[in-house]
Structures are given as C-alpha cells and as structure tokens.
Copies of this chain bind each other. A is one copy, B any other.
C-alpha cells in the first residue's frame, strides 16, 4: 500500500547497460580502476590527525606513481602515453576515494606537470617530466595570491631578468602578493611553478611582459626550505586535510634564466623578450587555456563524489524505516516518502545528465589536445575557446550540484549522516572548495556569458538581433554537438522550428524539452545583449551597467550550459541500445528537465512560455515522475558502478 511500483524493478541487464553507457569512451579505464583501487588503502580515515592524513595521502601518491595512471596524461616522448581522456577518467575515478588524494594528484601531475608539459620547452619537458611522473620531483603550482585569485592578470609577484648573472629574480613585493593556498607547498613540494609578472630591461625603464610561469626550487632534497623562500602552513581546512596547503613568499630569489617556462614567451641572454604570440592578452589567455584540464578534472571529481553521496543516501533510504502509515503497523521506508524522493531523485537525475555531459566534454578535450600536441600547436583557436567555455560551464554546474546534493544527502540521512563513519561529512567538506578553486564559479559564469556576448558582438553585430542570436546559439552549440549524436536532435529541433507550444508536450517529450531550454537560452542572451548595449554608449558607466545586469549575466550563462547538458543526456539516450535502460533514462531525463523547470518556472511564466495553470501543474508532474522512478532508484544507483567497498559508510547493511 505504501509503495505503488508502476513497473517492475530494473533487471541486472538494465543495470549493466546503464553502467556501460555511463562508462563512456574510457569505460575500460573505469573498469581497471574498479579492479585496482583498494578501498582499505584509498578511502579517507576520519580518525587521523592532520599530519597523519598528510602522510597517508603522500603514501597513496607513491602507490599511484607506481601505477599506469600517472603516465597517461603525459606525452609519449616524456615517458607518458598521451591518453588524455584516460588520464582524466582515472582522475575522476579517484573522486570515489579520498578526495585529498584526488586534489594532491591533480596538483602534482595535473597542474605542476601540466604546466611543464604545456608551457615548457622541449628540453624542460625532457628533463623534468619523467621525474614528475615518477614523483621523484614533487611539485606545486603557485598561481593564486592572497590578494589575487580570479584576477590572475593582476598578480603581484615579479620575475625580473638580470642579464649580468643571466638569472631571473623572483620577488614577493607585499603581503597580498604571497602565493596562497598552494597545495603541496606546506610539506612535500620541492619545486614550484611560480606565476609572476615578467620584467626585462634596465631598472629605470623596465619592460613588462605579463604573467609567465617560472620553475623555482623551494626545498632541497632533504626537504629543507631554500634560502630566500618563506613557507607558511595554511593549517587545518574545512576539508581536504590530506593536502598540505601553504603560503610562499620570495625575497629576491634567483633562478637561471632557463627556468622560465618559455613555450609562449622567452628571454634571450641579452634580455630580449620574444613570443610566438604577439598580442599580450591573447598570449595570456593561451597560457591559461592550457589549464582547462584542471577545470574538467574538478568537474569529474565533483561528479564522482556526488554519485557516491547519492548512492549512500539512497541505499540508506531503502533500509531505514520511520513512522507507520495510517491503518498499518508496518513502518514506511524513507524512500517511500514523497518529500524524501523529492530530495534525492531529481538530484539523481541531474547527476546522470552531468555525467553524460562530462563524458562528452572529456572526449572533446581529448580530441582537441591530442590533435594539438602532435605538432605542439594549440590547434584551432576557436575550438579551444569553445572547449574552455564549455569546461567552465560544466565545472560550475557540476560543483554547485555537488555542494547542494551532498548537503541534501547529509540531511536526508539525519543524525547518521553527520557521523564521519558514514562518509558524508568527508564528501561534503572535501568538495566544498570545488566551487572556488580552478576558477570561482561566479566568475566562471561571467566568463561563459562574456564569451557568448563576444561572439555575438564581434561576428554578427550587423544582423538583426533575433537572427543573430539564433545563429550564435547554434554556432556555440556545435562545439558539443559535433562530438555527440546530439546533432540529430539539434537537426530535429531545427526541423520543428521555434514555434512554442503550451499543451504540455514541451515538458514531457525530448524534442519539446530541448526546445524549451534552447528557446530560453536564446531569449535570455538576446535580452542581455540588448541591455548591455547601453554600456557601449559614450559616457555610460560601463561598470555600473554590467554590475546592474549581473543576475541576467549569470542566468544567460546558466541557461546556455543547461541546454548543452540536456543535449548530452538526450544523445546518450539515443546511443542506448538496451530497451529497459532506455525507457528508464527517458523517464530520468524528464525528471531532470521537470525539476529544473519547476525551479525556474517563474521565468517561463513571466516570458509566456508556460501559462500560470501549466506552471502550477509542474510540481504534480515532478511528483509523478518521482513516483514512477521510485522502484528503480536502487538500479539507477547501481548503474553508477561504484563498488560496495568504495562507499565506506558504516550504516549500510
């Protein structure tokens, strides 16, 4: 009586099909990780002190260095296998273990190794990368400063060339220019890639070349801090306490000129600066662009952690009972309560959506970066920009989704969810900074919006506005669409045209759902462009105009990314060959869309996309979708393919 399954629970075939589909192009890497990763060795241990946590993660790093996973992200000539997709997928699988290990590995191999690999010369790569892969040279990535995080262009640290000694002088001019929150700096790193303002020329007429990376040794082989370097420990953090974050300051520290990572900017012995990229702004963004892998990796780790939390909360909700129903002495399972379903099932649906989007993103990056690496070129610049925008957008949605969902999971498990032995506290605390690092989410959304607007202004300023935006939206979409089967859906959408329907079909069928989200994206972007045009007028306070429009800016970016994510979900469903899994995913996709529309339904009503009456019905539609999916919740969680031993929650029986 208390549960009314409308369909039999999913079969093991269905679960296998879900797992395979979520596995994506690097499913074999996931399978390898499932076989190799040992929960005993890799899951967090909440009983440890700060120092013990750091030592445990350092030990895990050594284990990882001995495996294949560290190599896959590096070029063949440096001893790697250049399988970028495999590398990022393995990293994502680490997201099911101790997230301190994920971050520590990401800092050393991804950021430090990635900087050398992407910004270094052939010689630097040849010399350093093998020692980085093997962890013989533990490194850190010193970009963020106390006073400058998101605004990297304004960093205060300087690297001044001294031709007399053929050295670069690294200096921290003030407190706000200390390198801050630097993972690895407090305890383990021997070398830092320090991002600093590069200066050449005589002291009375210095030439500024913008931010560049410089290799700076910070500790000797015995771990003693080198002269001129000051290292502070950032101490305990909300989470990720296995990562030794620190603050670095440099007092006129001298390194050889050849320590400049010089792929995009070099200095000759006489102090002449040269770069293959003339425009300083373009050069700067090209250098930063090589960091896109970090953002994508964080999104992947956030996704893995979120799926772990949902697996824990949903399995708990299927075993724990509370209160008996009227007229019955049987107590009701938590997951049979509609409130509980609404807490967990829409988040489950969105987790599937984001997992498919993440897979598409990794695949796109792999193709862009492996193609580019062959000839040491950044490749098609437009393609690279599109990848960056998409990576930023997916990172934002995935990490906020993690923050909100893990919070819900904690609350849905009540007091038990508050105990460290049930894993959720670590998942919450460790992922919390994901919305901040590798790009603050709010700033990233602004970047996404600016990217959309720039294309809009630069390329199509002369078209009439409506046609323009449709064109822009389609063109931006193509970055993803090309990599997925979503092209057919985009085509179908084009065939259907942009006519609006209000008979409810838009809410319940895939083409209608995509039309709904695309239409919103287009409308919001067009409105934003119109609004910001005011800022271009002479005498207008550009900051004030942009500042007043912030909510609109963020909405435009979000609407864009949400449409892209939906396309990934729909494309995955089209690829699914198992009929049971396909039906389940259709239902799940509908719940994903409906819960988003429910959240934003004010917009749809305000802009005539839904009548007030239809809007009122959305909550009922969400309830009904929850009810239909309820019997399949466990199968959908099993589809994540997380081994039981990885859940690490004492209360699961």
Are A338 and B548 within 8 A (Cβ)?
yes
A141 touches B (CB below 8 Å): no
Q: How far apart are the CA atoms of A339 and B543 in the complex, in Å? A: 13
Are A436 and B418 within 8 A (Cβ)?
yes
Are B543 and A338 within 8 A (Cβ)?
no
Q: How far apart are the CA atoms of A180 and B419 in the complex, in Å? A: 11
A96 touches B (CB below 8 Å): no
Out of B331, B421, B619, which one reaches A235, CB within 8 Å?
B421
Contact with B along A417-458 (1 / 0, CB 8 A): 111110011001100110111001110000000000000000
Are A237 and B419 within 8 A (Cβ)?
yes
Question: Would you list which residues of chain A between 520 and 568 have a CB under 8 Å from chain B?
Answer: 541-544, 546-548, 550-551, 554
Are A407 and B410 within 8 A (Cβ)?
no
- Given A342-B551, A415-B436, does the pair A615, B606 have CB atoms closer than 8 Å? yes
Q: How far apart are the CA atoms of A546 and B325 in the complex, in Å? A: 10
Q: How far apart are the CA atoms of A433 and B541 in the complex, in Å? A: 46
- Given A425-B237, A436-B411, does the pair A332, B543 have CB atoms closer than 8 Å? yes
Contacts of A321 in B (CB 8 A): 147
A47 touches B (CB below 8 Å): yes
Contacts of A46 in B (CB 8 A): 235-236
Please, which residue of chain B has its CB at the minimum distance from the CB of A433? B418
Are A548 and B623 within 8 A (Cβ)?
yes
Are B415 and A144 within 8 A (Cβ)?
yes
Are A420 and B238 within 8 A (Cβ)?
yes
Question: Would you list which residues of chain A between 316 and 357 have a CB under 8 Å from chain B?
Answer: 320-328, 331-332, 336-339, 342
Contacts of A7 in B (CB 8 A): none
Out of B149, B325, B421, which one reaches A414, CB within 8 Å?
B149
Q: How far apart are the CA atoms of A549 and B61 in the complex, in Å? A: 51
Smallest distance from the beta carbon of A651 to chain B beta carbons, Å?
9
Are A339 and B420 within 8 A (Cβ)?
no
Contacts of A428 in B (CB 8 A): 238, 432
Are A612 and B619 within 8 A (Cβ)?
no
Question: Would you list which residues of chain A between 33 and 67 have a CB under 8 Å from chain B?
Answer: 46-47, 49-50
Smallest distance from the beta carbon of A589 to chain B beta carbons, Å?
21
Are A1 and B541 within 8 A (Cβ)?
yes
A148 touches B (CB below 8 Å): yes
A91 touches B (CB below 8 Å): no
Contacts of A238 in B (CB 8 A): 410, 418-420, 424-425, 428-429
Smallest distance from the beta carbon of A499 to chain B beta carbons, Å?
20
Are A415 and B616 within 8 A (Cβ)?
no
Q: How far apart are the CA atoms of A547 and B420 in the complex, in Å? A: 31
A207 touches B (CB below 8 Å): no
Are A414 and B440 within 8 A (Cβ)?
yes
- Given A235-B420, A435-B411, does the pair A342, B550 have CB atoms closer than 8 Å? yes
Contacts of A543 in B (CB 8 A): 1-2, 325-328, 332
Contacts of A326 in B (CB 8 A): 542-543, 546
A279 touches B (CB below 8 Å): no
Q: How far apart are the CA atoms of A564 and B465 in the complex, in Å? A: 48
Most chain B CB within a 10 A radius of its CB, from A543, A546, A613: A543
Contacts of A338 in B (CB 8 A): 547-548, 550-551
Contacts of A108 in B (CB 8 A): none
A602 touches B (CB below 8 Å): yes
Most chain B CB within a 10 A radius of its CB, from A320, A414, A428: A414
A473 touches B (CB below 8 Å): no
Smallest distance from the beta carbon of A406 to chain B beta carbons, Å?
11
Contact with B along A551-593 (1 / 0, CB 8 A): 1001000000000000000000000000000000000000000
* Residue contacts A-B, CB under 8 angstroms, 21 given: A1-B543, A1-B544, A147-B321, A181-B416, A235-B419, A235-B420, A236-B421, A238-B418, A238-B419, A325-B543, A337-B550, A338-B550, A338-B551, A407-B407, A410-B432, A411-B436, A414-B436, A415-B433, A425-B429, A605-B606, A606-B615
Q: 5 closest pairs, A vs B, by CB?
A: A238-B425, A325-B543, A602-B602, A236-B420, A338-B550
